[in-house]
Amino acid sequence: MDPLILVIDLGTTACKVGLVTPEGHVVAYVSEADATPIHFGSGGKAEQDPSDWWAVITRNVRRIFAETGIPKDRVAGIGVSTHWSGTVAVDKEGRALGAAIIWMDSRGAPYVEQVTGGFPKVEGYGLRKLITWLRLTGGMPTRGGKDSLAHILYLKHREPARYRAAYKLLEPKDYINLKLTGRFASDYATITLYWLTDNRNITRIDYHPLLLKWTGVDGDKLPKLFPTTHVLGPLTPEAAAELDVPAGLPVTMGAPDVHAPAMGSGAVNDYEPHVYVGTSSWFSCHVPFKKTDVFHNMASLPASIPGRYFVVNEQETAGVSLTFLRNTIFYGDDELGACPAPEDAYRRFDRLAAQARPGSGGLIFTPWLYGERTPVEESTLRAGFYNLSLTTSRADIVRAVMEGVALNTRWLQGYVEKLAGRKLGPVNFIGGGARSDIWSQIFADVLKRPIHQVKDPQAAGLRGAAVLAGLSLNLTTLQDFAEHVEIVRTYQPRADAIPIYDELFEAFLDIYKRNSGLYKRLNNPH
């Protein structure tokens, strides 16, 4: 009968709701996939309807209590995690003004170029602005236009009526917290991608007047900032009625879907790496310093763990590459006939991939289905299969997709290690991709590191948000959590596979170098 945290984990296309102990033990959770459609459009548009977010959250909060029978009076607090780098314009009553612009949207790129330009230029940035942004924030607004700042600049220049009507401009997590508490607020970690804060004193972060001036963003449209372990406020009676839980429950600040899984991975000490593979992916670790690699779009930024930084990077499309393979290549409903994907499609992919030899017969997949952020920032990059032949099998194709995601992660790994200043050790593996034994082994072989498959890897976000809530409510400590993380299995790199992947990795990098310019010509939105 230990106290539980009610955790809301809203992904890009799926929603999980869990009941988790403050030490990170997942007692129960429910999940609903494909509940929040993405609306794509010309020029890099990628939006979602915030009402879809709230609808799936309310359904699944009600569902978890109905299905488990767990008493609601065991809930000691609420923690929230959502996808990061999105923007919701809201009025003074907290109503969303139109669609939410999400992390895949790149329409703000031209306006980022305007506010970060100057002479002389370094990597496309004005030198004075580059130095100032790096000194204050630890990073720079990315030129691909996918940061929250780019969304805000897009609204200001292309939808000025909505920008003027906005009382606040919120991240998705902060919008959900607003729905729960009625309070307009954000935290030190979540606000980073506005690129408007002075992060030099990690215990006291606030907006910087010079950055507001350079970008032209109205400071009064931005939320008040608190530490990530802040208790935001009580659950309102209105929200409690919709969720069918007791009013007054403390709602903690929560964390985005990069920070929460980083904690939920169990790799919470400095220089302990983890890999996350969900819709997107990253290779990261916590570090004790603020540092930036401007040439590869990576930096150590404020973490959800108080007083700490972690290395931020992102591979735009990882697990969704298998979803694309499932829905577009293998199954579908079109002129070739209705062929809906079976519920166990991903398990079938695992079995099929296991039939192919390491290296997939020389077939290489580049997983750049919607551009890339790191270690190169190019929204125009696109995916492809290279070295196809008449002897290529479907097993080769599936395995090549898995290997391509791992090869891109190896690309990231090298630059993370350079930023960290050391070679990193065994890697904790989390996210839906970590449920796959064959993919875990592929990562071990490609990264040349032992891979620790964390128990319930797809629940890492739930665990991280729950532990963060437990810290906020003084119900646990970080070391208590670290001692409770369970590793299901460790995969060792295989000596016979390493030379194969060394060769493929060199070819993978060569494919990027040879085709980057071509993709820019084909896909330039300007």
The predicted model scores a pTM of 0.86
pLDDT (tens digit per residue) in 230-247: 999 999 999 999 999 999
Q: Which two tokens stand for residue 438?
A: 């064959």
Question: For residues 145 and 405, what is the distance between their CA atoms, to the nearest angstrom?
Answer: 23
pLDDT classification of 356: cutoffs 50, 70, 90: very high
Is the pLDDT reported for residue 525 higher than 80? no
Superfamily, domain 319-523? ATPase, nucleotide binding domain (3.30.420.40)
Q: Which two tokens stand for residue 138?
A: 């630890």
Is the pLDDT reported for residue 334 higher than 90? no
Radius of gyration, alpha carbons of the chain: 22
Q: Report yes or no: 481 and 454 within 8 Å, Cβ to Cβ.
A: no
* Cα angle value 402/484/227 (rounded, 5°): 85
Question: For residues 355 and 364, what is the distance between their CA atoms, to the nearest angstrom?
Answer: 17
Q: Which two tokens stand for residue 324?
A: 């694309």
Q: Which two tokens stand for residue 118?
A: 């100057």
pLDDT (tens digit per residue) in 21-62: 999 999 999 999 888 999 999 999 999 999 999 999 999 999
> How many residues are given for the chain?
526
Q: Quick one: average pLDDT of 248-263?
A: 95
Position with higher pLDDT, 1 vs 278? 278
Question: For residues 133 and 122, what is the distance between their CA atoms, to the nearest angstrom?
Answer: 13
Domain ranges of the chain: 4-257, 319-523
E strands, 431-502, in order:
451-454, 487-491
pLDDT classification of 526: cutoffs 50, 70, 90: low
pLDDT score at 305: 87
If you average pLDDT over every residue of the chain, what do you get?
95
Omega before residue 375 within 30° of 0, cis? yes
CA 496 to chain centre: 33
- Tell me, yes or no, if the two domains 4-257 and 319-523 fold the same way: yes
Give the Å distances, CA to CA, from 188 to 151, 185, 217, 341.
19, 10, 18, 42
Residue 512 CB contacts under 8 Å (≥ 6 apart), including other chains: 366, 376, 381
CB neighbours (10 Å) of residue 355?
Answer: 13
Hey, what CATH topology would domain 4-257 get? Nucleotidyltransferase; domain 5 (3.30.420)
Hey, is 107 helix, strand or coil?
Answer: coil
Is the pLDDT reported for residue 524 higher than 90? no
Residue 171 CB contacts under 8 Å (≥ 6 apart), including other chains: 82, 84, 85, 86, 87, 88, 148, 186, 190, 191, 256
Position with higher pLDDT, 308 vs 448? 448
pLDDT (tens digit per residue) in 275-332: 999 888 999 999 999 898 888 988 899 999 888 899 988 888 999 999 999 999 999 8
Exposed (0-12), middle (13-18) or buried (19+): which is 176, by Cβ within 10 Å? Answer: buried
Q: What share of the chain is helix, strand, coil (3-state, %, to 5)?
A: 40, 20, 35
- Three-state SS string over 331-374 comes to CEEECCEEECCCCCHHHHHHHHHHHCCCCHHHCEEECCECEECC
